[in-house]
Copies of this chain bind each other. A is one copy, B any other.
Amino acid sequence: MIEDRVVLGHGAGGRKMHRLIRQLFLRYFANPALEPLADGAIIDTDAGRLCVTTDSYVVQPLFFPGGDIGRLAVTGTVNDLAVMGAVPQVLTLGMIIREGLRVDVLERICQSIAATAQEAGVTIAAGDTKVIEGGSGEELYINTTGIGFVDRKIRLGPEFVRSGDAILLNGGIGEHEAAVGIARSGYGSKTRIQSDCVPLNRLVAKVLAVGGVRVMRDPTRGGLATTLNEFSETTGLGFVINESALCLRKEVKALSALLGLDPLYMANEGKVVIIAAAEAAPRIVRCMRRLPTGKAAGLIGEVVRSPQGVWLRTRLGSLRPLMMLEGEQLPRIC
Enumerate chain B residues within 8 angstroms of A111, measured Cβ to Cβ: 28
Complex alpha-carbon distance, A53 and B145, angstroms: 10
Number of identical monomers bound together in the oligomeric complex: 2
> Which size bracket describes the interface of A in this complex?
35 or more
Pick from B34, B127, B133: contact of A127, CB under 8 Å: B34
Neighbour of A29 across the interface among B47, B102, B114, CB < 8 A: B114
* Complex CA distance for A96 and B8, rounded to whole angstroms: 11
A6-B103, A34-B126 known; A29+B93 contact, CB < 8 A: yes
A278 CB to closest chain B CB, in angstroms?
A: 32
A47 contacts across to B, CB distance below 8 A = 45, 47-48, 50, 149
Q: When the two chains form their complex, are residues B50 and A128 in contact, meaning their CB atoms are under 8 A apart?
A: no
Residue A4 at the B interface, CB < 8 A?
yes
CA distance A133 to B330 in the complex (A): 12
- State the A residues within 8 Å of B (CB): 2-12, 17, 20-21, 24-25, 27-29, 31, 33-34, 40-41, 43, 45-48, 50, 52-58, 89-90, 92-104, 106-107, 110-111, 113-114, 117, 123-133, 135, 141, 143, 145, 147, 149, 331-332
Q: Apart from A8-B99, A52-B126, what 12 extra A-B contacts exist at CB < 8 Å?
A: A5-B99, A6-B106, A10-B99, A11-B131, A20-B129, A21-B127, A28-B110, A45-B149, A46-B149, A48-B48, A54-B126, A92-B145
